[in-house]
């Protein structure tokens, strides 16, 4: 029975690009977002052509995380550091561009979990296990080697209370490895990839977005030396999203 369920889960994931656990248990409002995008997407998606997952600010000191087309204000520097973000990765935008991005729910380490936390983060509790929390699904990472192969670092790990960890739905897929990451799970958001076509890509919303200029790595504070290399079969299994255009 487990083998049949696992096969059906992979079939669904391959067809739709979305983890069925997310539909059944996480009640994520962005589930099947690609379907909505076919009719033009939401106002927030149209408002910003910037890649999600970046840290942004204008001339004022407030810092935001851009996520799903909305800017999420950090409540404090303590929240920023608790969530393991890096000050040197903040992108400064013109004030009028920043104002054009709709506001989302703020980020606050003292706020309710998971509403006031990022949609995607690497976390651990009091135990030794490390997890990817992605869109309401808790995914154990199999080993330190797999953790590193997916271009995560120890500096990314957010230590959460155990009851936060246990409140998340433990997905039915196997532990996350580099070998199964692209077959058993959704495309992890906000990773940089090297395609077999020699181009660079950025993952967002279950799609790969072509990075159209090497200068964008410097502008968005990405690290070109941390690209995840995709095989031809892996690359062809994903949909392509809107390219990230040179600025």
In order along its 247 residues, the chain shows pLDDT tens digits of 445 556 566 666 665 666 666 665 555 555 554 444 433 344 444 445 899 999 999 999 999 999 999 999 999 999 999 999 999 999 999 999 999 999 999 999 999 999 999 999 999 999 999 999 998 889 999 999 999 999 999 999 999 999 999 998 887 778 999 988 888 888 899 999 999 999 999 999 889 999 999 999 999 999 988 899 999 999 998 999 999 988 7
Instruction: Tell me if 184 is assigned to some domain.
Output: no
Instruction: Tell me if 70 is assigned to some domain.
Output: no
Which residues, 6+ apart, have CB-to-CB distance to 77 below 8 Å? none
**pLDDT given for residue 24 in this prediction:** 57
**Can you read off the two tokens belonging to residue 221?**
């504070």
Which residues, 6+ apart, have CB-to-CB distance to 245 below 8 Å? 49, 212
Backbone angles phi, psi at 67, to 5 degrees: -145, 125
Clarify whether residues 136 and 232 are in a common domain: no
Clarify whether residues 128 and 163 are in a common domain: yes
**pLDDT given for residue 229 in this prediction:** 95
Residue 198 DSSP label = S
**pLDDT given for residue 8 in this prediction:** 61
**pLDDT given for residue 118 in this prediction:** 97
pTM: 0.86
d(CA 24, CA 13): 13
Range of the domain at 145: 2-35+119-170
Provide the 3-class DSSP secondary structure of residue 135.
coil
- The total number of structural domains that make up the chain: 2
Instruction: Tell me if 232 is assigned to some domain.
Output: yes
Instruction: Tell me if 7 is assigned to some domain.
Output: yes
Edge-to-edge strands, sheet with 130-134: 157-159, 120-124, 130-134, 137-140, 169-170
**Can you read off the two tokens belonging to residue 77?**
């520097």
Clarify whether residues 166 and 202 are in a common domain: no
Clarify whether residues 126 and 31 are in a common domain: yes
């Amino acid at each position: 029975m487990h083998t049949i369920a696992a096969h059906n889960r992979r079939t669904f994931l391959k067809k739709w690009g979305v983890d069925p656990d997310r539909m059944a248990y996480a009640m994520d409002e962005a589930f099947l977002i690609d379907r909505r995008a076919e009719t033009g997407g939401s106002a927030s998606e149209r408002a910003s052509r910037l890649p999600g997952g970046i840290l942004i600010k204008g001339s004022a000191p407030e810092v935001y995380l851009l996520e799903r087309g909305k800017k999420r204000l950090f409540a404090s520097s303590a929240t920023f550091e608790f969530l393991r973000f890096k000050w040197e990765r903040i992108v400064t935008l013109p004030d009028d561009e920043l104002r054009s991005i709709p506001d989302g729910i703020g980020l606050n380490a003292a706020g309710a979990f998971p509403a006031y936390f990022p949609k995607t983060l690497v976390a651990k509790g009091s135990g030794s296990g490390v997890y990817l929390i992605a869109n309401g699904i808790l995914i154990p990472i199999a080993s330190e080697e797999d953790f590193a192969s997916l271009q995560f670092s120890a500096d990314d790990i957010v230590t959460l209370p155990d009851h936060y960890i246990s409140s998340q739905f433990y997905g039915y897929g196997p532990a996350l490895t580099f070998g199964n990451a692209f077959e058993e799970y959704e495309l992890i958001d906000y990773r940089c990839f090297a395609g077999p076509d020699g181009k660079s890509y950025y993952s967002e919303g279950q799609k790969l977005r072509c990075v159209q200029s090497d200068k964008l790595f410097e502008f968005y504070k990405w690290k070109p030396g941390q690209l995840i290399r995709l095989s031809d079969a892996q690359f062809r299994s994903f949909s392509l999203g809107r390219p990230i255009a040179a600025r």
